[in-house]
Amino acid sequence: MAYIDWSIRGPEVTTCNCNWGCPCQFNSLPSHGNCRAAVAMRIDEGHFGKVKLDGLRWVGLFAWPGAIHEGRGEALPIVDERADPAQREAILKILSGEETEPGATMFNVFATTFEKMHEPRFAHIEFEADIENRKAHFSVDGLVEAKTGPITNPITGEAHRARVSLPHGFEYREAEYASSTTHADRPIALDWANGHGHLTMLHMTPTGPVG
């Protein structure tokens, strides 16, 4: 099957309610029996067919009552308010996983686990990411605020660096691991401190991550 030629490249930040490291990254069950997450990206270079996506941002809020593979999840996509109608449609198509080889990207994999998709929001998205230092922040007024920082040693307080490589991962090939704090109210409630976080330079196409 032929897919529309698309590519997005730029820093991505993921936060979730699991303990540092996130068992899901290693095919294990979530730390607290359920999975809740907030993900954001700045597209430094991107296109969907002939539609340019450079400089735009997106956020996704997610919740599953159990492990992700058990389904019954819900999602809220949030797209940069600066995007024009064609760009909005393009980003939503990418996030839906429709124009992707089956199982090749996180968008396609997660789409099979949702039973409720909230209407997309178009809003101003604040986004900052320093991958090397594991520091990031993203927020959407009235919807979500999240930040990451280095994992710290509980005795010395010193930063503990962890970098994980997943050669066959459907989200990234390599990411810096961090600690996260996230809060959101409606329509998807998220609330944790010292949860898992990871930061990566994402480069995604219809056939999966590049690099």
All residues at 6 or more sequence positions from 26 whose CB lies less than 8 Å from its CB, including other chains = none
Confidence check: pLDDT of 1 > 80: no
pTM: 0.96
Helix (H, G, I), strand (E, B) or coil at 109: helix
Whether 162 maps to a domain, the answer reads yes
pLDDT (average), residues 140-161? 96
Whether 91 maps to a domain, the answer reads yes
Number of domains in the chain: 1
- The pLDDT assigned to 164 comes to 97
Question: What's the pLDDT band for 211 if we cut at 50, 70, 90?
Answer: confident
Residue range(s) defining the domain that contains residue 132: 7-206
- Asked if 46 and 9 touch (Cβ cutoff 8 Å), the reply is yes
pLDDT digits (tens, 9 = 90+) for 9-48: 999 999 999 999 999 999 999 999 999 999 999 999 999 9
Whether 163 maps to a domain, the answer reads yes
Phi and psi (nearest 5°) for 192?
-160, 160
Question: What's the pLDDT band for 2 if we cut at 50, 70, 90?
Answer: confident
Confidence check: pLDDT of 185 > 80: yes
Whether 2 maps to a domain, the answer reads no
- Summarize the chain as % helix, strand, coil (round to 5): 10, 50, 40
